[in-house]
């Protein structure tokens, strides 16, 4: 659904009227809703690792490059996400969280197999340089709140996440901006948010028995062994 339809629902509940446009309107109320729309949508996107915002990024080595531009819509890595090498089936690039460790890796040429990675300076850095026949793949969260953009610019823009959250978010944020009572509206929004997050996560599979290896490592063999 479009940002206009979400704004119209919010406007009906706030002032009892339904604007025909918000982004092309010169009315103060409509302009306020347009101004709040992107802020509200971005806040919703930051609340959870929504399935619709998960994307697969691929970087291709050339034998010398160690820094690669991230996808243009990159916002953040998925939680506990790994960077996979196309040449290794059971091992990941090792994440480096400390900048000091990254310097030491460069100074000592000490690398894990197939290599190490860190997001630094707005780029994905991988050491050692990947050969031309290797790719690195990883899942990330997109910052686009529409199909192609990180911001709303017209009434026809479609929010990629549930429209109801955008409507409820606009209501409490507009009232808060006007220094009006908004506690109940914010509670309604937070309840709807928790419900949508639970729905987005889907049903959980219950595992019976004892885990035989830590949850943060890959399986020793990607399949089953036959007789």
Q: Residue 7: pLDDT above 70?
A: yes
Which tokens is 107 given? 């100074």
Helix axes 163-177, 183-201, angle to 10 degrees: 160
Q: What is the pLDDT of residue 135?
A: 96
pLDDT value of position 11: 98
Domain map (residue ranges) of the chain: 3-49+161-198, 51-142
Can you tell me the mean pLDDT for 81-106? 90
Burial class (CB in 10 A: 0-12, 13-18, 19+), 117: buried
Alpha carbon distance, N-terminus to C-terminus of the chain: 54
| 7-21 mean pLDDT | 97
Q: pLDDT digits over 123-161, tens only? A: 999 999 999 999 999 999 999 999 999 999 999 999 999
Written as six digits, the tokens of 35 are 């101004």
Q: Which residue blocks in 18-138 are alpha helix, DSSP H?
A: 28-46, 99-108
Name which of 3-12, 15-24, 98-107, 133-142 the model is least confident about: 98-107
Alpha-carbon distance 180 to 175, whole Å? 5
Share the mean pLDDT of the chain. Answer: 89
221, pLDDT greater than 50: no
* Residue 203 pLDDT exceeds 70: no
Q: Does residue 226 register a pLDDT over 50?
A: no
Q: Which residues contact 13 (CB under 8 A, 6 or more apart)?
A: 171
Residue 95: the pLDDT is 93
Helix and strand counts by DSSP (H, E) for the chain:
5, 8
User: pLDDT tens for residues 103-123?
Assistant: 988 777 666 678 999 999 999
SS (H, E, C) 53-84: HEEEEEEECCCCCCEEECCCCEEEECCCCCEE
pLDDT for 212 beyond 50: no
């Amino acid at each position: 659904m479009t940002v206009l339809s979400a704004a119209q629902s919010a406007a009906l509940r706030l002032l009892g009227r339904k604007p025909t446009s918000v982004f092309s309107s010169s009315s103060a109320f409509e302009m306020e809703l347009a101004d709040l729309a992107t802020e509200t949508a971005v806040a919703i996107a930051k609340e959870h690792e929504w399935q619709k915002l998960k994307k697969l990024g691929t970087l291709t080595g050339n034998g010398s490059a160690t820094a690669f531009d991230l996808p243009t819509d990159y916002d953040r890595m998925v939680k506990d996400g790994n960077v996979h090498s196309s040449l290794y089936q059971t091992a990941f690039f090792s994440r480096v969280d400390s900048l000091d460790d990254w310097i030491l890796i460069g100074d000592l040429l000490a690398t894990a197999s197939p290599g190490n990675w860190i997001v630094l300076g707005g780029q994905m850095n991988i050491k050692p340089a990947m050969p031309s026949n290797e790719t690195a793949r990883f899942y990330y969260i997109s910052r686009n709140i529409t199909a192609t953009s990180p911001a709303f610019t017209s009434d026809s823009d479609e929010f990629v996440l549930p429209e109801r959250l955008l409507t409820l978010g606009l209501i409490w944020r507009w009232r808060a901006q006007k220094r009006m009572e908004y506690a109940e509206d914010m509670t309604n929004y937070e309840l709807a948010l928790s419900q949508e997050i639970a729905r987005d996560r889907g049903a959980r599979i219950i595992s019976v028995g004892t885990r035989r290896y830590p949850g943060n490592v890959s399986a020793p063999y990607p399949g089953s062994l036959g007789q």
